[in-house]
Amino acid sequence: MILVSGVRFNTLRIPDLSIYPGRTAIIGRNGSGKTSLLRLIAGLASPEEGSVTISGEPTGTHNVGWVDEYPDRNFIFSTVYDEIASSCRFQFIPCEETRSMVLEIASKAGITHLVRREIRTLSGGEKAMVALASALVTTPPLVVMDEYDSHLDSSCINAVEGLIGASGAQYTIQCTQNMELAARCDTVVFLYEGKILYKGRPEKIFTSLKDSCFYPFSWRLRDAGCL
Amino acid sequence: MRVVFEDAEVTRERFMIRAAGSFAEGVHLVSGPVGSGKTTLALAATGLRTPKKGKIYMEGIGTFTLSQQFPEYHITGTTLNEEIASWGLKPDHILERTGFNGQGSRDPFSLARGELKRLHLACVLSGNWDLLVLDEPFSGLDCREKKRIAGEIATLKAGIVIIFTHEQTVFPRVDRLWELQEGFLRDLGPVPGSFPDWRGAPPLLRMLLEKGIVPRNLANEDLLEAVCRM
């Protein structure tokens, strides 16, 4: 279990939040604190007060797959191959094994044609796909993704969903503005001005948000009795 | 007023996009899968890419701008005040409109990314443009902002608005559809007659079309109205 206790960080004020294994979507308006919460969980930042633990251990000691909302902030190498391989190389995985891991994840993500490309030549969506492949290549138990889907079309999102499902990650935590995607997660956390307003199963959370635009549009159509 | 692609071939790295067609006054939606060349074409439409072959030219257009997909690419000021002023606008007015009243001395990069996009779009949409090219204007915005921006686009004074997007849920009302597929820009024609030819149509629209229902346009209200016709 991931436990957030007594946390103050930037605008975040979270007395208590437990996240269980499975897929969790963090939703809320722009500026509600989603990125801050994800950075704490991924161990990329420490709270000013309080603690964040994963199975009782402090964050920062786990293998985490991270996808930043700024596509360009995901990369430290110039080619797609080196970028994806870096996750393996930093773990001292032998070259041959690294090579097969890179090619396998590229194939599953549908980006084999990009492997030899320089990252600076990629489109926004292609960069997002490379960042995801780099985050997932070593099958980390915790994957944290900050609006990876905002640069992708629906067919790429479906490919990534399959990739995440098959990755075997114990925890997948993402923030998104795509409520259809959030509705497919096990748990939804709704942040409002740095505080957790709702947390629970999608059916429960979106019922609380029925009068807002956060309610999935497909559900609204379903409720209208037309579908 | 129009932007003309005259048998233009625009290259990006190893691939080429062929485009022929004319963007007249109104709101145009150009869709295409990830990596199909939407951004390249957006750059070409505003003169930031020169075609290898053919011509791209503007007729009767005095003022134009491009809003890039990533708002961080636009930042030139070190404070919100400077950033807004760099668009030739009065900071206080934009700060108030975007909910950052009294925060003009903040670093633009201290904003959440969606907030940065909100600020950027407020600056862009405040201008009087003959041609406004928007590359993924909805990406990263929350649902309230998406709807607000879709509404603002519908009431813009701009002559020609070209929206390049992969958005699947929130759209403004548009006049004409275009699609980038396998290196070609296809002019699908006016809405709603062009909906059946739209290969990358959003899932809901596709479902409606399969049932023989053609919505009037793409705004949420149009889709909801069409669904309830069933």
The CATH code of the domain that includes B16 is 3.40.50.300
pLDDT in tens, chain A (227 residues): 999 999 999 999 999 999 999 999 999 999 999 999 999 999 999 999 999 999 999 998 889 999 999 888 899 999 999 999 999 999 999 999 999 999 999 999 999 999 999 999 998 899 999 999 999 999 999 999 999 998 898 888 988 998 898 888 999 999 999 999 999 999 999 999 999 999 999 999 999 999 999 999 888 888 877 65
User: What is the reported pLDDT for A62?
Assistant: 87
The complex scores an ipTM of 0.86
Domain boundary among B127, B157, B175: B127
Same structural domain for residues B190 and B203? Answer: yes
Residue B168 has pLDDT above 90, yes or no: no
Give the separation between CA B18 and CA B39, rounded to whole angstroms: 14
Same structural domain for residues B114 and B206? Answer: no
Q: Please, what is the angle between helix A80-89 and helix A95-109, to 10°?
A: 120
For residue A221, the one-letter residue type is L
Q: Are A179 and A29 in contact (CB under 8 A)?
A: no
- Tracing tokens 């029925």 back to the chain, one arrives at A210
For residue B101, the one-letter residue type is N
pLDDT grade, residue B14 (50/70/90)? Answer: confident
Same structural domain for residues B19 and B97? Answer: no
Domain boundary among B103, B127, B151: B127
How many distinct structural domains can be found in chain B?
2
CA A63 to chain centre: 14
What are the C-alpha distances in Å from B190 to residues B1, B23, B29, B193? Answer: 17, 11, 10, 6
User: What is the reported pLDDT for A71?
Assistant: 85
Same structural domain for residues B135 and B113? Answer: no
Same structural domain for residues B19 and B96? Answer: no
pLDDT grade, residue B55 (50/70/90)? Answer: very high
Domain boundary among B105, B127, B149: B127
Would you call A123 and B13 a contact, using CB atoms and an 8 Å cutoff?
A: no
Residue range(s) occupied by CATH 3.40.50.300 in chain A: 21-45+142-227
Same structural domain for residues B151 and B55? Answer: yes
Would you call B168 and A154 a contact, using CB atoms and an 8 Å cutoff?
A: yes
Q: What CATH architecture applies to the domain A21-45+142-227?
A: 3-Layer(aba) Sandwich (3.40)
Instruction: Identify the closest residue of chain B to A152 by CA–CA distance.
Output: B34
DSSP state of B21: E
Residue B170, token pair as written in the block: 């929130």
Q: Are A178 and A157 in contact (CB under 8 A)?
A: yes
Same structural domain for residues B175 and B82? Answer: no
Same structural domain for residues B53 and B137? Answer: yes
Residue A179, token pair as written in the block: 């409520």
First to last CA, chain A: 38
Name every chain B residue with its beta carbon within 8 A of the beta carbon of A214. 143
Same structural domain for residues B77 and B57? Answer: no
Same structural domain for residues B82 and B162? Answer: no
Q: Is A168 on the interface with B (CB under 8 A)?
A: no
User: What is the reported pLDDT for A218?
Assistant: 86
Mean pLDDT of chain B: 93
Task: Tell me whether the omega of the peptide bond preceding residue B192 falls within 30 degrees of 0, making it cis.
Answer: yes
B93-98, long-range: CB < 8 A, 24+ apart: B94/B119, B94/B122, B94/B123, B94/B126, B97/B122, B98/B122
pLDDT tens digit string along A149-171? 988 988 889 889 988 988 889 99
User: What is the reported pLDDT for B199?
Assistant: 93
Same structural domain for residues B112 and B154? Answer: no
The strand pairing partners of B10, in sequence order, are: B17
Domain membership of residue B96 as a residue range: 71-127
Name every chain A residue with its beta carbon within 8 A of the beta carbon of B100. none
Give the separation between CA A148 and CA B39, rounded to whole angstroms: 18
Closest residue to B114, CB basis, from A30, A125, A152: A30
Q: Are A189 and A25 in contact (CB under 8 A)?
A: yes
User: What is the reported pLDDT for A224?
Assistant: 76
Residue B13 has pLDDT above 80, yes or no: no
The strand pairing partners of A25, in sequence order, are: A174, A188
For residue A197, the one-letter residue type is L
Residue B27 has pLDDT above 90, yes or no: yes
Give the separation between CA B46 and CA B35, rounded to whole angstroms: 19
pLDDT grade, residue B228 (50/70/90)? Answer: confident
Alpha carbon of A226: minimum distance to chain B alpha carbons (Å) = 5
Residue B47 has pLDDT above 60, yes or no: yes
Would you call B136 and A28 a contact, using CB atoms and an 8 Å cutoff?
A: no
pLDDT tens digit string along B58-94? 999 999 999 999 999 999 999 999 999 999 999 999 9
Q: What are phi and psi of A16, to 5 degrees?
A: -165, 125
| Residue ranges of B 184-203 with Cβ closer than 8 A to chain A | 200, 202-203
Give the separation between CA B118 and CA B124, rounded to whole angstroms: 10
Residue B158 has pLDDT above 80, yes or no: no
DSSP state of A118: B
3-state helix, strand, coil in chain B (%, to 5): 30, 25, 40
A60-91 per-residue burial string, b: 16 or more CB within 10 A, e: under 16: eeeebbbbbbbbeebbeeebbbbbbbbbbeee
Would you call B143 and A213 a contact, using CB atoms and an 8 Å cutoff?
A: yes
Closest residue to A153, CB basis, from B114, B143, B166: B166
